[in-house]
Amino acid sequence: MIFIKSKRLQQLPPYLFVKLDRMKAEALGKGIDVIDLGIGDPDLPTPKFIVERMIAAIQKARYHSYPSSSGMLDFRKAAAGWYKKRFDLSFDPINEVAALIGSKEAIAHFPLAFIDPGDVVLVPTPGYPVYNIGTLFSGGEIYYLPLIAENDFLPNLDSIPGDILKRAKILWINYPNNPTAAVAPPEFFAGVVDFAKQNNIIVCHDNAYSEMTYDGYIASSFLDAPGARDIGLEFHSLSKTYNMTGWRIGFAVGNPDLIGALTQVKSNVDSGQFEAIQEAGIAALESDQSCVREMQEIYSERRDVLVSGLRDLGLDTPFPKATFYIWTPVPHGYTSQDFSTLLLEKAGIVCTPGNGFGDSGEGYVRMALTVSKDRMGEVIERLKKIL
């Protein structure tokens, strides 16, 4: 029997990080000592106090039943409280906050609430691949917004043709940015709000890296821009902030109609997050955040080693103010794929070719700060031998 995949599934490229895992496995199979700077998965453990809260919570029989698809009210209250402390923004935990099984699933599901065939979603490139995937699964069309160094890796909204704007329903933005590590000033967010209101477009801000900041930089919330709550929502993940990638816990805040539509989709496609994990999330959100400050210091030290070494080798690599990614141009004469292949085959270093995040990522590779400072020094020593 021949099984024919749906046209939507056939449109999808192979998921970038699945391919990276396969390349890494092949290298390990050859006995290579691989240093993995590819996938952005923290090597640091989840803080002990969060794990201990989970251990206690899992013993509670009431958590062994189906959870609510919108999340425990106590978790949503903790998320609202965190936003109040962190950004001085107040949200109604009942109508303006939703618990997520990690922000990835919600980013993929949100277009299902608003996109019909023929509608357009404005997607940054390079960018997180799930913005594209959610659009394609909903039957929408993608219009790419190039993020280039000459514009500080911010999208040029004035460049969008009028016929595209008439069909556009959603704009995705993400600052601090993956993969470029760019940050956005408040005036950019204010301009996005004006743009969205003029064109009746929903703004989705992926704010997963707001707490991974350095050198005194403090990331802001898009929803702090005047009028942003009228047209937008913001996705946040505990994955990177608290080293909880495998736990799959996050939340969204914002306009109650948008939160309600997302919750309606989720109520039909998932059964909510395990409530013991939500209780562990409460412990993280209500803590004194000292674990976050420790994380920032560790990544800052790793960043300094890697970027200084790359610059010494002649690469024009910027020092990022946020995220745990280094977005570096490749040496002259190399493509993104050529350079990442060279690093793997000749130096045992896994990094992500920039064009894997979209055509505008060509000429760059992304390196994640997910190995120790000593191993980061070894990365530079290996690079010295081949560059």
User: In this predicted structure, what is the pLDDT of residue 122?
Assistant: 98
User: In this predicted structure, what is the pLDDT of residue 39?
Assistant: 84
User: In this predicted structure, what is the pLDDT of residue 15?
Assistant: 59
Distance between CA atoms of 241 and 380, rounded to whole angstroms?
27
Q: Where do you find CATH 3.90.1150.10 in the chain?
A: 7-45+290-386
**CA 283 distance to own-chain centroid:** 22
The answer to whether 174 and 205 are in contact (CB under 8 A) is: yes
Count of helices and strands (H, E) across the chain: 16, 12
Architecture of domain 48-285 in CATH? 3-Layer(aba) Sandwich (3.40)
The answer to whether 139 and 274 are in contact (CB under 8 A) is: no
Q: Where are the beta strands (DSSP E) in the chain?
A: 35-36, 97-100, 120-125, 141-146, 168-173, 202-206, 232-237, 250-254, 325-329, 349-350, 352-353, 364-368
Q: What is the pLDDT of residues 259-300, one digit of tens each?
A: 999 999 999 999 999 999 999 999 999 999 999 999 999 999
User: In this predicted structure, what is the pLDDT of residue 16?
Assistant: 61
Q: Which residues have C-beta within 8 Å of that of residue 204, sequence separation ≥ 6?
A: 107, 110, 170, 171, 172, 173, 232, 233, 234, 235
User: In this predicted structure, what is the pLDDT of residue 56?
Assistant: 97
The Cβ of residue 370 has, within 10 Å, a number of other Cβ atoms equal to 21
Q: Which residues have C-beta within 8 Å of that of residue 282, sequence separation ≥ 6?
A: 53, 74, 75, 78
Distance between CA atoms of 99 and 282, rounded to whole angstroms?
11
pLDDT averaged per 10 residues in sequence order, the chain, 387 residues: 83 66 77 88 96 97 91 97 98 98 96 97 96 94 97 98 98 98 98 98 98 97 98 97 97 98 95 96 98 98 98 96 98 93 92 93 97 97 94
User: In this predicted structure, what is the pLDDT of residue 13?
Assistant: 66
User: In this predicted structure, what is the pLDDT of residue 7?
Assistant: 83
Q: What is the pLDDT of residues 101-115, one digit of tens each?
A: 999 999 999 999 999
The Cβ of residue 258 has, within 10 Å, a number of other Cβ atoms equal to 23
> Which CATH fold topology does 7-45+290-386 show?
Aspartate Aminotransferase, domain 1 (3.90.1150)
DSSP 8-state secondary structure symbol assigned to residue 58 = T
The dihedral through the CA atoms of 262, 135, 247, 49 has a sign that is negative
Distance between CA atoms of 210 and 67, rounded to whole angstroms?
28
Distance between CA atoms of 230 and 294, rounded to whole angstroms?
36
User: In this predicted structure, what is the pLDDT of residue 68?
Assistant: 87
Amino acid at 311: R
Q: Look up the pTM and report it.
A: 0.95
User: In this predicted structure, what is the pLDDT of residue 22?
Assistant: 77
User: In this predicted structure, what is the pLDDT of residue 20?
Assistant: 67
Q: What is the pLDDT of residues 191-242, one digit of tens each?
A: 999 999 999 999 999 999 999 999 999 999 999 999 999 999 999 999 999 9
Q: Which residue has the tokens 């794929």?
A: 337
DSSP 8-state secondary structure symbol assigned to residue 210 = T
